[in-house]
Amino acid sequence: MGETDARHEPHDEGVLGRLNWLRAGVLGANDGIVSVAAVLVGVAGVTTQTGPLVTAGAAALVGGAISMALGEYVSVSSQRDSERALIALERRELEEDPEGELAELVGLWEQRGLDHETATLVATRQTEHDALQAHLSMELGIDEETVTSPWQAAAASFLAFSVGGILPLAAILLAPVDVRVWVAIAVVLVALGVTGALGARLGRAPWQRATVRVVVGGGIALAVTYGIGSLLGVAGVG
């Protein structure tokens, strides 16, 4: 890595956290695009009338967004409870055995390559500054000040899914009736390409392969649901 790359690499934990949230938002929007588009294309395999499409699209959009929000809330709540329990345990251990905890911190620094004298100096300085945070960071990789809010995570998931889901719904409803399906498919594949590339870039990964995976996966989902809808329409189910 060159000097220029090193200067532009985000080392700040706050920046990395924001990038992770932004990447999660892009992936949530991607889920909304695929989920709602698959439902709409499946229904369009039976009928392209506006009424059924609006009903199916709205149900998929609202239901999917709520489901994503609930899932994220439960997941983050469990994670937060675990982190709080670990923080409480670490705080109690520091109160009951500060010398033992200092020795443990010294050992952790030695495992990272420091000699005993340097590790002792670093651990002592950390303990004097903020013993709890030092142990949380070194032992558990968590920060007492940045425990994720489940409500914030749920709201972000709901919004991201909704933004993504509105796109295929708008595309299929605004397009002329005789080309609704193809316009929606084209818009969805382009949108998936954009979100796939953006998500990869935010994750600092090569964007080409990620974009192809997302577009191909979305295309397969649309083809399968349209095929199922068409078969059900031929069978007279719709």
Q: Is residue 124 part of a domain?
A: yes
**Res 110: pLDDT:** 84
Contact 198, 185 (CB under 8 A): no
How many domains would you assign to the chain?
A: 1
Q: What is the pLDDT at residue 4?
A: 42
Residues of the chain with pLDDT under 70: 1-23, 143-147, 234-238
Is 37 within 8 Å of 164 (Cβ atoms)? no
pLDDT of residue 67: 92
Question: Is residue 47 a part of any domain in this protein?
Answer: yes
**What is the predicted pLDDT for the residue at 119?**
82
Strand, coil or helix: 204: coil
- Residue 4 forms part of a structural domain: no
What pLDDT score does 63 carry? Answer: 94
Q: Residues 6 or more apart from 76 whose CB is under 8 A from it?
A: 148, 149, 150, 153, 154
Q: Report the pLDDT value the prediction gives residue 6, as an integer from 0 to 100.
A: 42
Is the CA virtual torsion 64, 160, 10, 205 positive or negative? positive
Residues in the chain: 238
pTM of this structure: 0.72
Contacts of residue 126, Cβ cutoff 8 Å, sequence gap at least 6: 105, 134
Is 238 a member of any domain?
no
Q: How far does the chain reach from its first CA to its final CA, in angstroms?
A: 59
In a domain, residue 39? The reply is yes
- Position 181 in a domain: yes
Q: What tokens does 146 get?
A: 């940045």
Does residue 9 lie in a domain region?
no
**Tell me, what's the pLDDT at 186?**
92
| Domain around 168 | 14-233
Asked whether residue 59 is assigned to any structural domain, the reply reads yes
95: which 2 tokens?
């109160």
pLDDT at 187: 92
